[in-house]
Structure 1
C-alpha cells in the first residue's frame, strides 16, 4: 500500500464517510430534514435570515403556525426549537400567549424579542409580519456591530506588534544617527 493511500484511509477514518460534516436529523412538519450540526461559532446572520423567512411567509398570507413551521426549517437550533414549539401548539389550537411562552433558559435576546412580539401581536391585533421584518433588520445591525468591534480589536492587535518592531528600528536608524551626528558637530566646534 502506498503512502498516499494510507493517508487517505487515515483521513477517511478520522472524518467519517460524510467528509467530516456531521448532520443533525430532525423532523419539521412531518418531513425529515438533514442539517449540518451547529459549529462552535454560529452564523451571526442566521437569526436575521430566519426572521426574514418568517416575515415573508406571514406577508404572503400564511397562517402563523405554517409560517413558523416553514421558518424553523432554516433556523438556528434555539430559534428552531421556539418556532417548532409555537407552530405545533398553534396548530393544535393553543392561544398565542401559551404558544409563544418562554420554553427555557438557553435563549438569546432576539428569540425573546420574537416571543414578546408574537404575544403582543396576538393581544393587540397588530401585524406580526412588519414587526418580524424590523426584528430581522435589528438582528442584522447587531451582527454588524459585533463584526465591526471584532475588526477594530484586530486592528489594535495587529498594530501593537508593528509598533514594537518598527519604533525601535526607527529610533535606531533614524533618530540616533541624527543626534549622534549633531552631538559630534557640537563637540568639534569647541563649546567646551
Structure 2
C-alpha cells in the first residue's frame, strides 16, 4: 500500500531533476562567463566588431559557453538581427545575464565594452558569494553526523541514569 503512495512522489521528484550533463554545463558556463566577458570587452576596445569579439571569446573559452558564443557569432556574421540572436541563449539561466546585456546594448547603442566589464564584475561577485555560501554550509553539514552520534550517547549515558536514579528514589521510599 505504501509503495502505491511513494512511487508517484519519487517519480515526480526524479522527473523534475535536471540531467547531470545540463547541471555540469551550467556550472561551467557560470565559471567561464567572467573571463569571456572580459575577453569580449578587450576585443571590442581594440576595435573588433561584436561578431569578431564573440568569435574570439568562443575560440578561447571552448566548452559549452564557447559553443553558444560561436553560434551567436556565426549568426551575427551572417547578418542576423542581434536582439533575437541574443534572445535564444537567454533561455538558459547561466547565459541570461550576458544575453540580456548584449540585447539591451544592441537596442540602445550603449558602449558594449562597459556593459561587458560590469557583467564580468557581477559574475565574479556572484561566484564569490556562492563559494562563500558553500563553504559555510560545509560546517553545518559536518556537525550533523556528530550530533547524530553524540546525542544518543548523551541520552543513554547522561539522562537515563539520572532519570532512573530519581525514579528509584521516588518509587522506593
Q: Same fold (TM over 0.5)?
A: yes
Q: Report the Cα offset of residue 98 of structure 1.
A: 4.1
Q: 1:100 aligned to 2:86? A: yes
Which one has the largest radius of gyration?
1
Gaps of 5+ in 1: 1-37
Cα RMSD of the aligned pairs, angstroms, is 3.6
Q: 1:57 aligned to 2:19? A: no
Gaps of 5+ in 2: 1-20
Alignment of 1:104-119 (within 5 A): 107-119=91-103
Contact 1:72 1:81 (C-alpha < 8 Å) held by counterparts = yes
Q: 1:124 to 1:40 in 2, by over 3 A?
A: closer
Given the two structures, how large is their TM-score scaled by the length of structure 1?
A: 0.58
Q: For residue 70 of structure 2, what is the aligned residue in structure 1? A: 84
Q: 1:45 aligned to 2:31? A: yes
Q: How many residues align?
A: 148
Q: For residue 142 of structure 2, what is the aligned residue in structure 1? A: 158
Moved over 3 A (4+): 38-44, 74-78, 164-177
Q: 1:126 aligned to 2:110? A: yes
Q: Report the Cα offset of residue 78 of structure 1.
A: 4.0
Given the two structures, how large is their TM-score scaled by the length of structure 2?
A: 0.63
The structure richer in helix per residue is 2
